[in-house]
Structure 1
Amino acid sequence: MKVICLINMKGGVGKTTLSVNLCDCLARRNKAKVLLIDIDPQFNSTQCLMSTDEYINHLKNKRDTIINVYDRNVRPIISTVDGINDTEPKKIDEIEPILIKENFYLLPGNLELYRIEMSPGEGRENKLNKYIKSINEKYDFDYVIIDTPPTPSIWMTSALLASDYYLIPVKPDPISFTGLDLLQSIINERKENLDLKIECCGVVLTIVEPNTLVYSEAVNFLEGGRWKKYKFAKELHKRTKIARTQMSKTFILDLDDPQSKLNLVGIMNEMLKRINNE
């Protein structure tokens, strides 16, 4: 099992689009068993894979979300019949992801993550790592993809602790590249302080508009410095139809867009080559 988190401190860079479609591509083209974990409190990946009604019913039926991994406290339940009773949290290996389609599982996100107070040093940042290891004994996943929030938060630290590699989606614009070195410095600090073994898988250009000055400058930036060896050959091009249909459980491989399909498969293949050539 390989665990890869997609990470960027800037929102709107196609991180969720890449996370969801990499999982679909791995499951569909490679017949790999994949788990997507939505650790972003905005739970955009979950919204791409579950309709509003499906998600509401999921919560009503008390099925699991990412909140079950982190909120391990005993909760008082008040009943007019039985009075106040304590409810114990599930054992961590009993938290169940849901099957989205063949070989593709999801542990849904949850807005309630915002309500959890999680400070460094109290141990909650290690829960995700423990969960992934425990659940794999039952499901035997080939790959776990973690969609992270666009903030240098404790949730990011938790994802880094649980992952073998991190992949950075970057939109080719000056603002995005300004934060690239800062992101790397924050990750390096986490690695040193927490003795992490995680490695950079690479940088994928997303929402690309070829033949523009901004794109050319972005490529020159990556290929002219220390990021050169990390730049992926294939890129995720800007497509209105991708943005328009992704909230209706439509994947890039479902679209009538041969170039986008080719690029996605190329990104997947390069990612696998990088993480398997250790």
Structure 2
Amino acid sequence: MPLSVSTSSPLLPLRALTSAPTARLVFVHGFLGSRADWKSVVQYLPDSVDAYALDLPGHGSVKQLRPKNFKGFVEHIKAQLQYLPDDGTPLFLVGYSLGARLLMHLAVQLDDDERSIAGFVIEGGNFGLQQESEIESRWENDYRWIARFREHPLTEVLNDWYQQSIFTSLTSVQRKRLIEERTRNDGEALAEVMSVTSLAKQDYLLPLLLSTQHKIYYIAGENDEKFCRLYESSKVDYEVVSGAGHNAHKDQPNKYAKKLTQLLSLRDTDSL
């Protein structure tokens, strides 16, 4: 029987930890991904930065974990953060796509006086939908995907998934590699994840994000036209990763790491 609460931590370091870190980063992957997605980015971060990543329910090491609603996914992230040392080291949370949407929910839930998290980095995260017609249309679309993940061979579904317009910047080689990686998932688990984390089930967060005192940084790939337009029309400042599409950290890990280093003022110990 699937679990709704984690009994152990899927939050693990992505590389050797330091004795006196200058910052601590926790990475949260998107739908279909896993904590391993961030390994290529971490190698380019300053050595004194401790880097962790977690698996979201229904993915990676916690495929059996199935929260019953959107809030349950947010609570999963909060629970994993409790495993981190409480030593005053600045903590930044970095999320992509679904991971970014969950982190935005977390950001608006936290009291403005809660300073345990120094900032949030949002990559390709949608603020939510406002119009009922948009919500209904999105749910109809997602429901079709949910049925396909449940009923069809995963490779077949993934082939069609990565033909969506948001992934048009992918080369045939990149698309093939992603499909090979994502076939490690479980179709039934993915269907359950989408059924409770669909954009149609998410609150519209932009007004709350604009008013929060928490530091929130937005990132989009240069070729991700949808999210560049979204961030511009929403009047939020955002950074562009050149030569990257929707999945900027996978497309250009070196450039992405440099953006993080600049945005979050990350430093090596010997530069302090």
TM-score, normalization by structure 2: 0.37
TM-score, normalization by structure 1: 0.37
Greater relative CO, 1 or 2 (CA 8 Å, sep 6+): 1
User: Which is higher, the Rg of structure 1 or of structure 2?
Assistant: 1
